[in-house]
Amino acid sequence: MTTESPDISYRTQVALTIRAARTALGWSQEELSKQASVSKPTIARIEMSGISPRADTLNTLMQVFKGQGVEVTIGNEEVSVKYSKAALLTLQEQLNAK
């Protein structure tokens, strides 16, 4: 008996990835909106899998994350998130401050 794993839609992968990267940085949707010059409602709709972002919007978001030391790669069946040492140190400081 073989069971196939369910497919994860690209829209869902993007939604989960954006939310995870934003949360890892300790940012609200509003902060990501300001950093990326993308409206907060658009960020919210992307994160709720309500829309697939346009290529330029997704690129902008990925560049904002990369600028903070968080590199995200969305593949066919996996998502990779890499943190630079500087990003990890910043995250550590944020956690210690709480």
Within a domain: residue 43?
Answer: yes
Rounded Cα gap, residues 91 and 75, in angstroms: 25
- Tell me, what's the pLDDT at 5? 63
Contacts of residue 68, defined as CB under 8 A and 6 or more positions apart, other chains included, come to 25, 87, 90
The residue among 97, 98, 87 whose CA lies nearest residue 25 is 87
Residue ranges making up the domain that contains 43:
10-97
Find the CATH number of the domain harbouring 59.
1.10.260.40
pLDDT tens column, 36-62? 999 999 999 999 987 889 999 999 999
Total domains in the chain come to: 1
pLDDT above 70 (res 4)? no
Helical ranges in the chain per DSSP H: 10-24, 29-36, 40-47, 55-67, 85-97
Within a domain: residue 44?
Answer: yes
Top-confidence residue, 28 or 77: 28
Within a domain: residue 30?
Answer: yes
